[in-house]
Structure 1
Amino acid sequence: MNSEKIAFIFPAFVNEYLGKEREILSSLSNDFETNLEITSDWLGKDLSNFQEDENNYLDEELLTQYITYTFSCSISDMLQNKGFKPDFITGYSMGIYAAIYSAKSIDFIAGLEIIKMAYHEMQAFLGEKEFGMGIVIGLSVEDIQMLLKSSTADVELINANAEFSHVISGEFNEVVKMLDIFKEEGALNTKLLKVSSPYHSKYVIEAAKNIGKRIQEFSIKTPVFPVISLIDQKSILSSKDVVGEISRNIDHSLNWYKTMQFLIANKARTIIECGAGNGLYKNGKFVEGDFQIFPITKYFILF
């Protein structure tokens, strides 16, 4: 018996398209076109003209979330219809919504409604301040924590992509300031993300409480497949667990690196990135182990 396992991983936001996601997915199934039409009807906005290189809405955070979710759910549908059943599912940051859809805890429209609700709850608490997030590559967690502690910037370390790749969150100008400091102190690269909300930080604690209450309004079922938490790498196995994770996912720091290590330690050898772009595939290059990540451009190997 083959003990090797399959994991589906879901990205949060697309920051950069590869340019052929829609073409590749449409060659494999009609799921994306169908779901994009459903998203358009629900939103009251025609998204049929979406293209990766133009009309991609990357400058509109909420629309980017909807389209990212639509891509991810469509890929999950296609894979499961072709016989791929995941042993583990996990979602990077806001990828949690597509992850719980893939686990059959929510239906497609519910995911869109939860994304909308969570986004507006956060905006209501954030007010007029500008916020941002950034990536730091080439410094250890100890280096970053030391520099944050010695500075006056109100910025938090909120995720580890790998041993030397981390994400920070906070007020926009402070994030920009710290990215410059990290570069001066030896970071190989820094990048400001196209995100205007300080996810996974103290700034959204009150919003997370409200989201935790409002999520009770939705019909959430027991996951058919185990969903792995990015917060503590525990398995989310009940509808109650899903409700709690959606709320915690807003204001708790994450650890993608430990989550990947968990998947590898539990014999996930085929890890499929269910989404547009290849951000998680690139993150995986800095994680050691016997596994292979398949982004959308490598799906042809699977079939």
Structure 2
Amino acid sequence: MRTYVFPGQGAQQKGMGSSLFDEFSDLTRSADSILGYSIKDLCLEDPDRLLDQTQYTQPAMYVVNALSYYRKLRETGLVPDFVAGHSLGEYNALLAAEVFDFETGLRMVRKRGELMGRASGGGMAAVLNASEAEIRTILAENGLDSVDLANFNTPSQIVISGRAEDIETARPLFQTGNHLFVPLRTSGAFHSRYMESARVEFDGFLSGISFSKPRIPVVSNVTARVYEDHLVKESLTKQMVNAVRWSDTVEHLLGYSGMEFEEVGHGTVLTKLLKKILRELANERKAPLRTAPKSTENAVETVRRWNERYTVGTRFRSTSGNYGNLETATAATVLFGHRAAVYMQGYRGYFDLQELEPVAAAQ
């Protein structure tokens, strides 16, 4: 079985979709007409540096994801067994399932991007190497019940969302021990209670739109289960104020025998998250074995020697050859009580120390 997954905001990059716009010229012209600007120029040249602004990012990602899917259908003729998308990417999953057409989806995404782009005074941050229970406990014990959990990207990579001042207050609470705190560049508290006014307005906008029954099962961000046909509108509005349950989505799909995943659209953000989810789920199943004192002691010693030898900012390559331009963003640490690892800038994830070799030493 196969699931196509579509990335959302954060995967955008100047130059994305370079070979798609001319191939699907009719849809590109249609997008330009709806948006009032050239989607090709925005994605390829970004002359006014708008691509990272929410109201432009979301239509751009939607169009590139959509054209990527249409190309895949044209080249392979294969329709997936399931589809899912991370936040904005869910609109592409619904498009692939023929719940609405390309133009209708783009109009919804444009409105969604405008509403989310208006949000101000909010902030978001990724908390790494902490479970949901740990994060909720730390927030509650420090009087930060005003902070919501917004994205469950992997079992140990969770995004928090709330007022900017509350996110800043939370920072030192997650910079102790093995936890890491990575602020995200957003002006709004997305996927939280603070998007309620945007949700209400978006709900009104969707009232005039008709949705068809999905032709492919679509897994919802809100429930991490397959959409119920009559709840598409409700799920899309709820998504604005509820967490993206991506890790649960992947785990649910893994319950189907022989499930394989393929990312459709620009970049490999979801492919990397999938690898982390699989690794962390496997580690959870081995938890009783991980607590052996010798294993922990070995990891601690490995991390100590590593940090004595390499400073933050050192460049590495993967020994498997898959990644050749990595740079450490933090000191090495011990994850899950046994794993010696370091967080990499650009890759935005952890690598085992044994999977890395310094670039300078290899030249």
TM-score, normalising length from structure 2? Answer: 0.69
Alignment of 1:66 with 2:56, yes or no, is: no
Residue 35 and residue 77 in structure 1: after superposition, are their counterparts in 2 closer, same or farther (change >3 A)? same
Letter matched to residue 108 of structure 1: F
Cα distance in structure 2, aligned partners of 1:7 and 1:196: 32
1:95 to 80, 89, 98: 89
1:76 to 48, 69, 82: 69
The answer as to whether partners of 1:14 and 1:68 remain within 8 angstroms in 2 is no
State the Cα RMSD in Å.
2.7
After alignment, is 263-272 or 164-173 more displaced? 263-272
Letter matched to residue 174 of structure 1: D
Q: 1:11: which partner in 2?
A: 7
State how 1:132-147 maps to structure 2 within 5 Å.
132-147=123-138
State how 1:165-176 maps to structure 2 within 5 Å.
165-176=157-168
The answer as to whether partners of 2:16 and 2:43 remain within 8 angstroms in 1 is no
Q: 1:203: which partner in 2?
A: 194
Alignment of 1:118 with 2:112, yes or no, is: yes
Deviation at 1:208, TM superposition (A): 2.1
State how 1:128-277 maps to structure 2 within 5 Å.
129-153=120-144, 154-187=146-179, 189-238=180-229, 240-267=230-257, 269-277=259-267
Letter matched to residue 41 of structure 1: S
The answer as to whether partners of 1:14 and 1:276 remain within 8 angstroms in 2 is no
Letter matched to residue 241 of structure 1: L
Residue 16 and residue 138 in structure 1: after superposition, are their counterparts in 2 closer, same or farther (change >3 A)? farther
Instruction: Count matched residues.
Output: 277
Residue 177 and residue 278 in structure 1: after superposition, are their counterparts in 2 closer, same or farther (change >3 A)? farther
Deviation at 1:67, TM superposition (A): 0.4
Offset from partner CA, 1:54-79 (integer Å, 9 cap, x none): 54633311100010001111111112
Deviation at 1:211, TM superposition (A): 2.4
Residue 141 and residue 213 in structure 1: after superposition, are their counterparts in 2 closer, same or farther (change >3 A)? same
State how 1:274-289 maps to structure 2 within 5 Å.
274-288=264-278
Residue 197 and residue 94 in structure 1: after superposition, are their counterparts in 2 closer, same or farther (change >3 A)? farther
Cα distance in structure 1, aligned partners of 2:66 and 2:12: 18
SS at match of 1:281: helix
Cα distance in structure 1, aligned partners of 2:175 and 2:133: 15
TM-score, normalising length from structure 1? Answer: 0.81
Higher relative contact order (CA 8 A, sep 6+): 1
Deviation at 1:198, TM superposition (A): 1.9
Deviation at 1:178, TM superposition (A): 2.1
